[in-house]
Structure 1
Amino acid sequence: MADQADESPAVAVAGPRTPRRRAATAALAVLVALSSWLGWRDIQIRRAEDIQSQVLQAARAGMVALTSIDHDRVDEGVQRILDTSTGGFREDFAQRAEPFKDAARKAQSTSVGTVSEAGVESVDGAQGRVLVALTVMTSNRGVPEQQPKAWRTRVTVTKDDGRFKVAAVEFVR
């Protein structure tokens, strides 16, 4: 009995529970690691979705700006196109802006573009490609009302000054 009295309750309790504590600690470590990894993946997925949304919105806005021009407000329309574009596409359009405005005014042309469908084709860092289907309704002075025209385009957008803008437009069949 003297031997049993010398044993402290902590030693008697700690001995048998040590493997359980190790297993619980290991399980907790695995759960923390898994939760951390899942949290990180969630952040990455949300960032990717946000970038895809920005790419899609920039392509849609750029195509609406490009196809919606009113001869009475052609200066505003051209500025809208320049504001939503970048790079060589913007430079090329800027060089042709005055003849474009003159032609729209002379023909008293009004066109309205409406995006029917749009989908992200790819995103690679600060650049994305979007397929955009749209309908363009155009009217000119002296010309009977025309039927809407369906266009399908591949729009390349590039990040410029913190936001995506149209960098190229390709018509596809």
Structure 2
Amino acid sequence: MPGTRNPRNPSGHNDAPDDGISEPDATDIAPNQDSDSDSADDGPTNPSPAGPDDSLSGTVDYDSETSDDSAQIPTSDPVDDASQHVPQQARPGLRAALVASVLIVAALGGLIGYLGYRTYQTQAADRQRELFLQTGRQAAINLTTISYAHVDADVARILDSATGTFHDDFQQRVQPFIDVVKQAQSTSEGNVTAAGVESINGDQAQVIVAVSVKTSNAGAPDQQPRGWRMRLNVQKIGDTAKVSDVQFVP
């Protein structure tokens, strides 16, 4: 139009062909030009350094927002719940295992103690039984092995292995018995053929002993061995045992 000039072409001539595209209005680009001109007039400017308050406030705002956001994220709660719930769930099983272990140890200790005590009782009973048996055997040999040559020692041996009524009764008949053996010049020798413990009652036992006795007298032919069976009551006295009674049985 004749009354309007393009600020970019002050002569008013339209050099560029009119292709139907209108130039942007000056009001549309004015703000950009003003800003550009202001920037050109002022020259290159460096950004002013942020003050301590500005940088701190920006950082604090960002950190606070970040911390607020992170605080809202339930990251540690599941871990805390798991760490709290897992031991609580495991405690009953652990307690039961500990109780079971204690019971097993106690049961094993009791069993070992019982077996040890039973073994001790068995060994003690075996030793006592053997003591009764050997005492009965030796007493039977002492009673049937007597020689006129050393009758005093033989009688003393019988008394040493005797106790109770048997000891008292035999001691009262010792001298007549010694006189008879010496006058007859008698010699007897006994051998145990069988022996066994018949019964045990506390510290006493009955022992059955079978002996074969060979006897000889001066001026008489040798006699055939004769068999005898004796029941001896044996009593334990301290660490030893002695005969308290003797009976000849068929």
1:30-72 C-alpha deviation (Å, 9 max, x unpaired): 1111111111111111111111111111111111111100110
1:40 aligns with 2:156: no
1:106-125 alignment runs, 5 A limit: 106-125=183-202
1:64-110 C-alpha deviation (Å, 9 max, x unpaired): 11110011000000000000101111111111111111111111111
The AA in structure 1 aligned to 2:180 is A
1:79-94 alignment runs, 5 A limit: 79-94=156-171
Contact 1:159 1:165 survives alignment (8 Å)? yes
Aligned residue number for residue 25 of structure 1: 102
2:244 aligned counterpart, secondary structure: strand
Aligned residue number for residue 71 of structure 1: 148
Aligned residue number for residue 149 of structure 1: 226
User: How many percent of aligned residue pairs carry the same amino acid?
Assistant: 40
Aligned with 1:4 (options 71, 74, 79): 79
Runs of 4+ in structure 1 deviating by more than 6 angstroms, as ranges, are none
Aligned residue number for residue 171 of structure 1: 248
1:105-134 C-alpha deviation (Å, 9 max, x unpaired): 111111111111111111112211001111
The AA in structure 2 aligned to 1:142 is G
Gaps of 5+ in 2: 1-75
Instruction: Say which structure is richer in strand.
Output: 1
The AA in structure 1 aligned to 2:121 is Q
Q: Which moved more, 1:152-161 or 1:120-129?
A: 152-161
Gaps of 5+ in 1: none
The AA in structure 1 aligned to 2:249 is V
Q: Which has the larger radius of gyration?
A: 2
- Of structures 1 and 2, the one scoring higher in RCO (CA 8 A, sep 6+) is 1
Residue 127 and residue 140 in structure 1: after superposition, are their counterparts in 2 closer, same or farther (change >3 A)? Answer: same
Aligned residue number for residue 9 of structure 2: none
Work out the CA distance in 2 between the residues paired with 1:126 and 1:155. 14
Work out the CA distance in 2 between the residues paired with 1:24 and 1:73. 71
Work out the CA distance in 2 between the residues paired with 1:151 and 1:3. 96
Contact 1:132 1:154 survives alignment (8 Å)? yes
The AA in structure 2 aligned to 1:2 is D
How far did 1:19 drift? 2.2
Work out the CA distance in 1 between the residues paired with 2:164 and 2:233. 11
TM-score, normalising length from structure 2? Answer: 0.64
Number of aligned residues: 173
How far did 1:13 drift? 5.4
TM-score, normalising length from structure 1? Answer: 0.91
RMSD of Structure 2 on Structure 1 (CA)? 1.9
1:132 aligns with 2:188: no
Aligned residue number for residue 95 of structure 1: 172
1:141 aligned counterpart, secondary structure: coil
Work out the CA distance in 1 between the residues paired with 2:219 and 2:87. 101
Aligned residue number for residue 38 of structure 2: none
